[in-house]
Amino acid sequence: MKLLFSLLLTCLAGTVTAADDFAATETSIKAAMEHERRADDKERDRNRIPVETLKFFKFRDDLTVLELLPGGGWYTRLLGPALKENGKLYISIGAERVFEKIKDDADFSAVELIPFDRKNFIRTPGVRGTSIPEFSFGVKKVDLALTFRNLHNFDEEGRKNMNKAVFEALKHKGLYGVVDHTRRHMQDDSSEVRRRLDPVLVIREIEAVGFEFVDYSDLHYRPDDELIYEVGRRSVTGNTDRFTLLFRKP
């Protein structure tokens, strides 16, 4: 009985510690969310629910994180300050402009750019999406890699090579979190769904380079998105159904 009670206490202690760990991280994220530099970003907070999304991806403010294709830097402006004290943030692939804007800001002292030559982007006439050749980020033992609404920009070969590079960069048991716009399963390609991806296809492709599928979330599920219109249309912008997937490197 004593042994059983001790084991129970140990399990409970682990649960509390995990909760406390994210409580501190949540404070860091929320502080970053309220900064004046995000005046133009806040409009999308309710839709993108970054605290809940990062919690699902098991983000902590003491991790080494790799953000792929940061775009305008919406998530970078949260991740960088949150990781400033105890973590590290690498940004790469189309990240040069964002880095130029933040590199001299002390709140982004934990951010490092991994250069990615734009000549690597290969566009083939008549083929949807951009390809990239095999490459390496040149870093190892990353805890968590993240990409938000980006995989749809690449063709099958490009996605494979990016996923392989992420696999190489992650440590054993490292995690890979993916968010993107949902396409119906096995739906034919067209201009109306060009920025959408079949989540079943994404799972199969990421597993094919060696990852284990861990979990999915319905945080960004939107039942009134009919999945038939291009995500830039006014009728669906800001309300697209997005799949949220988590993978692990064995």
Q: What is the dihedral of CA 213, 162, 149, 101, to 10 degrees?
A: 130
Q: What is the pLDDT of residue 18?
A: 47
Burial group, residue 203, by CB count within 10 angstroms (0-12, 13-18, 19+): middle
Lowest-confidence pick of 16-30, 91-105, 178-192:
16-30
What the block records as the tokens of 194 is 């060009």
Q: What is the pLDDT of residue 20?
A: 59
Please state the rounded mean pLDDT for residues 127-156.
Answer: 94
Domains of the chain from N-terminus onward: 2-248 (3.40.50.150)
Q: What's the pLDDT tens digit per position in 57-116?
A: 999 999 999 999 999 999 999 999 999 999 999 999 999 999 999 999 999 999 999 999
pLDDT interval class at 8 (50, 70, 90): very low
Lowest-confidence pick of 21-25, 141-145, 150-154:
21-25
First-to-last CA distance in the chain?
Answer: 36
Instruction: Name beta bridge partners: 242.
Output: 181
Please state the rounded mean pLDDT for residues 115-133.
Answer: 88
Lowest-confidence pick of 5-19, 160-174, 187-201:
5-19
Q: Write the DSSP assignment of 104-145 as a string of letters.
A: T-GGGTTEEEE---GGG-B--TT-SSBB--S---S---EEEE
Most confident of 72-86, 125-139, 225-239: 72-86
Residue 191 pLDDT more than 80?
no
**Residue 98 neighbours by CB distance under 10 Å:** 23
Percent of the chain with pLDDT over 70: 92
Q: What average pLDDT does the chain have?
A: 90
Residue 1 pLDDT more than 70?
no
Q: Is-contact 215 246, C-beta < 8 A?
A: yes
Q: Nearest to residue 58, comparing CAs of 145, 139, 140?
A: 145
Cα–Cα distance for residue pair 228/127, rounded to 1 Å: 20
Q: Nearest to residue 164, comparing CAs of 98, 211, 102?
A: 211
* Helix (H) / strand (E) containing 165: helix 156-169
